[in-house]
Every structure is written in structure tokens, then in C-alpha cells.
């Protein structure tokens, strides 16, 4: 064991590892742009499926009304495989499937039945997997000076953390998606205002802005495309706006959708409402930028003391110290 530690900590081994990591990073940086998938086309295909689903649901509702109560099956995305079998076998839907979970997955950009089944599966599979990994690490890999009972307790705590790991993963996706939408939304709102003032309908404006903003934010383009489909197929346009606010869960988007709902209800000009909301969003973004700029000096204090001042003193006092040593 001591030989292994000496080998790992030797300068030659560390230099070799750093060289290998640098070479791998260089190759990865060159290859990743070539292997990168077209996220825009992939997301737009997903939105096409969502539009087909909405159209099928609407046709099913109309058929149900015309056939005097006879129902027609709706189109649903189903996932097949091992995870679905586990979910159905242990009846996990009764434990986890609810409207809040489905909304959370939509906020993370995960739509359809397959992400729901995967989440329920990992919600059950993650604790025993974390428990097994912790046991192997504590008893076989790590050299921890603790009793077997304490190691087992640590493994139980790891299993408890594994139970919440899927929620943490989904919440992380939600935050990243909200941040991407929040950054691009003011520009999208300005483009939406221009389209409405040029005489385009709200549906056509949403579709046009979705195409234009896709290069900057695929997430926002996805949401606007889905809103365009819902405006076309849902019986009440208010539901489309409310669904957009619910999927994004951002105050700025919710304020815009509320203004659009009020404009639809009371007949006020949509362009005027969008102009007011665009001005407010620009002011909010400027306020956030000023807040970040004001918080920058305190954050730079510690890095300057640790990294900048020692180098500055070395540059200023170094020549004088060398001259003094030569004179001694």
C-alpha cells in the first residue's frame, strides 16, 4: 500500500497524469463540436409530437361530444421496457404520480410518459443502489477507522440521500432551464411586440418569435412553440397563457401572460400591454445587472488579497531585495 501511495504522489506520475488530462481535454475540445447534436431540431421534433398530441386530444374531445358520451382513447406517449415493468409491478403510480410531479417535470423540459416512469423508477431504485455503493466503499475500498455498526449507519444515511437524489436532479434541471429562459425572455418580448405591432396575430407572433429566438435559447423557443400549438387547439386561449406561466414558473413570464389574459378578456390593445411589459422587463434586467455590479467589489476583496497583492509586492520589492542581498 505504501508503494502505491509513493507512486501516486511522485512528481513523475503527477506530471504524466496532467499531460494525459491535457491531451484528452484538447482532443475533446476539438471533437465535441463535430459530435454535437442539433438540439434545435431535436426540440422542434418534440414540439411537433406535442402539437400532434394536442390536436388528437382536441379531436377526441369533439368526437366524445358528438357521440353523446362515448369516449375515444387519447393519444399518449407510452414507455416500454424494464423500468415500466417495475413501476407497474409495484404500483408506483399510486405513490408518486400526481399533478405536482407532472408540472415539475414539465418545468424541467421533460414531457411525455417516459420521463415520468423513469423518475418513479429511480425514486425507488436510487436508495438501494446508494446503500450498496456505500457499503462497498466503506467496507472494501476506504480505510475508515470506524466500527461496522457506524459504517452500516453511514450506508443507511447514503440510502436516505439517494431517496432525494432524483428530486435534486430534477430541481437542478428546472433551475438551469429557468435561467436560460430568463436571460432570453426580454429580447423575445421585444420581438413579440414588434410582430404584434406589424399586424400579425398573437399565434403567428409566438411562432415567429420561437423561430428567431431558437439560436439564443432553445428552451424558450420550445415553450413558445408549444404555446403556439395550444393557442391553436385549446378551446380557451386563457389556458394556453396559464400553461406557459405554469411551465416556466418565472414572475416575468407570469406577468406577461396575465397582461395577455386581461387584454383578451377586456378587449384592450395587445400591443399596448406588451409595450408596458417589455419596458418593465428591461428595467428589471437593468436592475439585476446593477445589483450584480454593486455586489462585485466585496466579492473581489478576498481574491485580490490572496492572489493580487502578494504578486504586486513581489514585483515591487523583488528587485530591491535582490540588490540588497548582492551588497551583503
Written as tens digits, the pLDDT of the chain (328 aa) is: 666 666 666 777 777 878 788 787 888 777 766 665 555 566 556 656 666 666 666 556 655 654 544 333 333 344 458 888 888 888 888 888 899 999 999 999 888 888 999 999 999 999 999 999 999 988 888 777 888 899 899 999 999 999 999 999 999 999 999 999 999 999 999 999 999 999 998 989 999 999 999 888 889 999 999 999 888 888 888 999 999 999 999 998 999 999 999 988 888 888 888 898 888 888 888 888 899 889 888 888 888 888 888 888 889 988 888 888 887 7
pLDDT value for 71: 35
Asked whether residue 137 is assigned to any structural domain, the reply reads no
DSSP code per residue over 269-297 = -HHHHHHHHHHHHHHHHHHHHHHHHHHHH
What is the number of alpha carbons within 13 Å of residue 114 lying toward its C-beta?
A: 8
Structural domains counted in the chain: 2
Q: Residue 235's Cα: distance from chain center in Å?
A: 30
pLDDT value for 75: 34
Asked whether residue 146 is assigned to any structural domain, the reply reads no
Separation of alpha carbons 119 and 96, rounded Å: 9
pLDDT in tens, 25-59: 888 777 766 665 555 566 556 656 666 666 666 55
- Domain of residue 17, residue span: 2-35
Separation of alpha carbons 31 and 28, rounded Å: 5
Asked whether residue 193 is assigned to any structural domain, the reply reads yes
Which cell numbers hold the place of 275?
A: 409595450
> Any residues with CB less than 8 A from the CB of 222 and at least 6 apart, and which?
43, 44, 46, 47, 109, 210
Separation of alpha carbons 67 and 71, rounded Å: 8
**Exposure string (b/e) for 199-216, b if CB count within 10 Å is 16 or more?**
ebebbebbbbbbebbbee
pLDDT value for 243: 92
Provide the greatest CA pair distance for the chain: 107
Asked if residue 52 lies in contact with residue 233, where contact means CB atoms within 8 angstroms, the answer is no
Asked whether residue 113 is assigned to any structural domain, the reply reads no
Asked whether residue 328 is assigned to any structural domain, the reply reads no
Asked whether residue 48 is assigned to any structural domain, the reply reads no
pLDDT value for 132: 93
pLDDT value for 257: 93
Asked whether residue 224 is assigned to any structural domain, the reply reads yes
Asked whether residue 269 is assigned to any structural domain, the reply reads yes
Amino acid at each position: 500500500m505504501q508503494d502505491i501511495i509513493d507512486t501516486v504522489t511522485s512528481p513523475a506520475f503527477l506530471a504524466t497524469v496532467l499531460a494525459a488530462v491535457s491531451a484528452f481535454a484538447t482532443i475533446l475540445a476539438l471533437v465535441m463540436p463535430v459530435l454535437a447534436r442539433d438540439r434545435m431540431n431535436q426540440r422542434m421534433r418534440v414540439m411537433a409530437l406535442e402539437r400532434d398530441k394536442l390536436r388528437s386530444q382536441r379531436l377526441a374531445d369533439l368526437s366524445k361530444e358528438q357521440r353523446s358520451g362515448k369516449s375515444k382513447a387519447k393519444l399518449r406517449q407510452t414507455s416500454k421496457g424494464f423500468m415500466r415493468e417495475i413501476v407497474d409491478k409495484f404500483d408506483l403510480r399510486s405513490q408518486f404520480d400526481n399533478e405536482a410531479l407532472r408540472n415539475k417535470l414539465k418545468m424541467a423540459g421533460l414531457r411525455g410518459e417516459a420521463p415520468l416512469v423513469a423518475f418513479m423508477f429511480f425514486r425507488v431504485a436510487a436508495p438501494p443502489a446508494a446503500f450498496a455503493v456505500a457499503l462497498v466503499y466503506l467496507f472494501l475500498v476506504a480505510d475508515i477507522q470506524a466500527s461496522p455498526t457506524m459504517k452500516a449507519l453511514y450506508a443507511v444515511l447514503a440510502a436516505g440521500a439517494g431517496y432525494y437524489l432524483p428530486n435534486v436532479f430534477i430541481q437542478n434541471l428546472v433551475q438551469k432551464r429557468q435561467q436560460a429562459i430568463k436571460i432570453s425572455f426580454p429580447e423575445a418580448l421585444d420581438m413579440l411586440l414588434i410582430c404584434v405591432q406589424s399586424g400579425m396575430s398573437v399565434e403567428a407572433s409566438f411562432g415567429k418569435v420561437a423561430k428567431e429566438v431558437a439560436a439564443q435559447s432553445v428552451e424558450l423557443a420550445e415553450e413558445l412553440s408549444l404555446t403556439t400549438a395550444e393557442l391553436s387547439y385549446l378551446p380557451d386561449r386563457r389556458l394556453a397563457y396559464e400553461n406557459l406561466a405554469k411551465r416556466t414558473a418565472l414572475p416575468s413570464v407570469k406577468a406577461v401572460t396575465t397582461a395577455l389574459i386581461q387584454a383578451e378578456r377586456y378587449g384592450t390593445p395587445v400591443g399596448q400591454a406588451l409595450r408596458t411589459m417589455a419596458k418593465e422587463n428591461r428595467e428589471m434586467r437593468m436592475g439585476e445587472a446593477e445589483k450584480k455590479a454593486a455586489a462585485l467589489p466585496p466579492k473581489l476583496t478576498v481574491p485580490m488579497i490572496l492572489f493580487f497583492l502578494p504578486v504586486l509586492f513581489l514585483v515591487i520589492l523583488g528587485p530591491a531585495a535582490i540588490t540588497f542581498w548582492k551588497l551583503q
